[in-house]
Amino acid sequence: MCAGLDNGLEIPLGPIVTCDMSAPEPVLMGRKRALPACPNPLFLKWLTELRDEAKEKGQKIQYTYQKAINSLNKYPLPLRDAREAKILQNFGDGICKILDSKLQQHYRECGEHTAVGREVSPPGRSDDKSPGPSRKDQKRERGATKRKKREYAPQKGSGGYAVLLTLYRHSQVAGSKGFMFKMELQTQAQHLCQKSFTVPEIGSKYAAWSAVATLIKRNLLMKTHNPARYSLTEEGVSLARRLDSAACTSEASLEDDKEEEEGCPVAVDLTVSDEDDVNKDTVEPKCKTSSGERLLAGTFDIVLCVDVSETTGGSRNCKQELVTELRRRGVNFDIRKLNVGDFLWVAREKVTPASGHSRASAGRELVLDYIIERKRMDDLCGSIIDGRFREQKFRLKRCGLRRPIYLVEGHGKAASQLSLPEMTLQQAVVNTQVVDGFFVKRVCDIRESAAYLAFMTTHLSKLYQHVT
């Protein structure tokens, strides 16, 4: 049947069952209709989670997931399974396999009767006037999807985890400014993150700092002012509090296990016979172990042991400068992993190679009573915030060496870029000396630190050269 118009054109019409001219259907004009929501909300949800996870890890596959999301948003029909998604652009075998795995898990948890796409009225119903759901059904489905969606929680050791935890612990310290600058946040959060905040991994152009964008997008983190200041939102504080509680429980458990495994912290030491100050010449050292084993004068060398963390990671230029300065000053040092402290000294037995061998066997080593914990002002600030400062002092007291030293680097420099007031930092240094009984040495920079280490090595070599 055709309807004729005055201009002579005819428009074909489908078969008409009834025709009620008195009640014509209303025609919407003027404003464009809103685009319908994606008819495949589960696939969209899973792809978005995959993209965000890849973005946080700095993986290039995030762009592939984003292209797949764009294709899925343009497709107007519901998909029954992941195999049907292969007809869409950017849906390869890998993505379809992942979606199929998530779909099977969804069926196991919710039952196979649940639909993957948007619920549609059965085709046999006589009152089915449109292929899509009603507006009420759409709202109900969006609400159910939102309720089922898992709350975002960054993986332990990731950039997001480290940033949230550092900002939260900073906010709990008395006198805190309530925000942190980028550089100090990166410095203090680095020990909680398994990747570098500044240097991308091989094959990736993103460092761990890229996770900050995800935190801001999820309304967990705020970035304000210039230079940028970072602080937690209410949602960020709530999530970070839970992360901190879980971290504290885990650390306490590890510490208990460590104490059980280690028992006595030091089995062998090199003691000094009196309590005189290190600068006095009246000290009469005795090289012997707790079992009475001795090293006689001239049979050993005094060697400075440098913790590996003092030469790698973080600000590599500064740490290489320390090694360069020690070598320039002729210090006999060795780089190794230290369980406690950053520097200590050992008396290493001199061993001559046996006949027929080019190399000598390793000689015995006895640990001297002096151990140093080095603290830059920014590191001191961070360790106070995250609780490492108190823990490190406790471990130094338990290590069995009687002359612990705190080497405070950066003394006298402005603390305007740090999270804690300068008065708080200075008070912490004073308490370390007066309350805890540590000897505190203040230096300006890394060169003065190297000079002090060189002086101590020379002094201890002279102190122990006449041991009998």
C-beta separation of 188 from 170 below 8 A: yes
- pLDDT range class, residue 78, cuts 50, 70, 90: confident
d(CA 47, CA 91): 11
CB environment 269-295: b (16+ within 10 A), e (fewer): bbbbeeeeeeeeeeeebebbbeeeeeb
pLDDT of residue 124: 40
d(CA 344, CA 365): 12
Judge whether residue 212 has pLDDT over 90.
Answer: yes
- Whether the model pTM is above 0.75: no
Judge whether residue 105 has pLDDT over 50.
Answer: yes
d(CA 394, CA 399): 9
Active site residues: 307, 310, 342
- pLDDT range class, residue 361, cuts 50, 70, 90: low
- pLDDT range class, residue 412, cuts 50, 70, 90: low
Judge whether residue 215 has pLDDT over 90.
Answer: yes
- pLDDT range class, residue 321, cuts 50, 70, 90: confident
C-beta separation of 327 from 454 below 8 A: no
| Segment 150-167 mean pLDDT | 88
C-beta separation of 239 from 220 below 8 A: yes
- Take residue 363 and report the two structure tokens written for it: 């000689």
Contacts of residue 244, Cβ cutoff 8 Å, sequence gap at least 6: 165, 168, 169
Judge whether residue 465 has pLDDT over 70.
Answer: yes
Contacts of residue 196, Cβ cutoff 8 Å, sequence gap at least 6: 190, 207, 208, 313
pLDDT of residue 149: 53
CATH superfamily of 41-119+133-147: DNA polymerase beta, N-terminal domain-like (1.10.150.110)
Classify 365 as helix, strand or coil.
Answer: strand
Q: Summarize pLDDT for 294-319 with one digit per residue, the tens.
A: 777 778 889 999 998 887 655 556 66
pLDDT of residue 175: 78
d(CA 297, CA 306): 24
Classify 297 as helix, strand or coil.
Answer: coil
* Domain residue limits, the chain: 41-119+133-147, 159-261, 271-463
CATH topology of domain 159-261: Arc Repressor Mutant, subunit A (1.10.10)
- CATH code, 271-463: 3.40.50.10130
pLDDT of residue 20: 46
